[in-house]
Amino acid sequence: MFFKIRHSTAFLSVLLSFVAMAATALATQRILGLSTTFVFKAGVGFACGGLLVILLANKFLVTHSFGSANQVTLARAALTALLYAAIGEHVALPVAWFVVIAAAVAVTLDGLDGWLARNNGESTVFGARFDMETDALLILGVSILSWQYGKAGPWILAAGTMRYIFVAFGYALPWLKTALPYSYRRKVICVAQSLSLIVSLVPWFTAPLSTFIAFAGLSLLATSFAVDIAWLFRSHRTQAMS
């Protein structure tokens, strides 16, 4: 019975979010004159992610309810799907503003889901990982759009791929998988990186100013990764010598 309740709440949450996202995508496509594949791209992207959320929630979520915090993260995932659907669409002023607003709302909601989790007693390993993966996908999507819109060169893709490269190297260097201590610096820089990408996409800012803004955010992110890698290496050496 516990299995069915957990599965049904996650499924219902994803289903309702999918309907809302699809309606938003359809309205956006018609208002902004986007291609007919925009809705399809958004729907397929969210459906794939939603299915994964259902499967993982069923396996790892320890509470009966999906939770309000995860609902907010799901809304952020829906916005992220819309941003990915905008990749490859024509570049026009209204479309650019849609991308900026959608990304800004997604980043703003990032603070709300964490607040709800702490204040409602909904903090779970699943929720933390769901939030982190949504952050990573958002940054990757916005970095691709930054390149597409000519706000920065292809090097900006490093902002979105850096974490995935770090995870990939962890399979070759197991010490990179060691749990890192909590760091407020890491969270702040993640938000700063996201904001720098969003600000660089604002139509008012063009190269070279947009390039400088995007590069500043990327530099902060690279520095944060370097600090964490250095800590992991020192920890690994200390353990190896003891």
Q: Reply yes or no on whether the pLDDT at 124 is more than 80.
A: yes
Maximum mean pLDDT: which of 52-61, 66-75, 134-143, 174-183: 134-143
The predicted pLDDT at position 1 comes to 39
Q: Reply yes or no on whether the pLDDT at 4 is more than 70.
A: no
Tell me what percent of the residues of the chain surpass a pLDDT of 90: 65
Contacts of 240 (CB under 8 A, 6+ apart): none
* CA–CA gap between residue 222 and residue 229 (Å, rounded): 10
CATH of the domain at 189: 1.20.120
Question: Tokens 């201590």 label which residue?
Answer: 181
Spatial contact of 198 and 104, defined as CB atoms under 8 Å apart: yes
Average pLDDT of the segment spanning 6-22: 87
Give the DSSP letter of residue 182: P
Give the tens place of pLDDT for each residue, 62-117: 777 888 889 999 999 999 999 999 999 998 999 999 999 999 999 999 888 878 87
The predicted pLDDT at position 26 comes to 97
The predicted pLDDT at position 7 comes to 54
The predicted pLDDT at position 73 comes to 93
Burial 168-205 (b: 16+ CB within 10 A, else e): eeeeeeeebeeeeeeeeeeeebbeebbebbbbbbbbeb
Instruction: Tell me if residue 155 falls in helix, strand or coil.
Output: helix
Mean pLDDT of the residues in the chain: 90
Q: Reply yes or no on whether the pLDDT at 160 is more than 90.
A: yes
Q: Reply yes or no on whether the pLDDT at 122 is more than 80.
A: no
* CA–CA gap between residue 189 and residue 192 (Å, rounded): 5
Average pLDDT of the segment spanning 38-45: 96
Instruction: Tell me if residue 169 falls in helix, strand or coil.
Output: helix
Tokens found for residue 233: 């290496």
Output 186 or 230, whichever has higher pLDDT.
230
Inter-CA distances, 81 with 34, 129, 239, Å: 15, 18, 42
The amino acid occupying position 149 is Y
Q: Structurally, how many domains does the chain consist of? A: 1
Q: Reply yes or no on whether the pLDDT at 54 is more than 50.
A: yes
Average pLDDT of the segment spanning 156-179: 92
Window from 38-42, 123-127, 142-146, 175-179 with minimum mean pLDDT: 123-127
First to last CA, the chain: 49
Sequence-ordered alpha helix ranges (H) in the chain = 2-32, 37-60, 68-86, 93-119, 125-148, 157-172, 184-201, 209-241
CA dihedral 47, 199, 95, 99 (to 10 degrees): 10
| Residue 53: domain span | 2-241
Q: Reply yes or no on whether the pLDDT at 2 is more than 50.
A: no
The amino acid occupying position 102 is A
Confidence band, pLDDT 50/70/90 cuts, at residue 6: low
- Candidates 97, 120, 100; CA nearest to 108 is 100
pTM of the model: 0.91
Confidence band, pLDDT 50/70/90 cuts, at residue 140: very high
Tokens found for residue 70: 């995860």
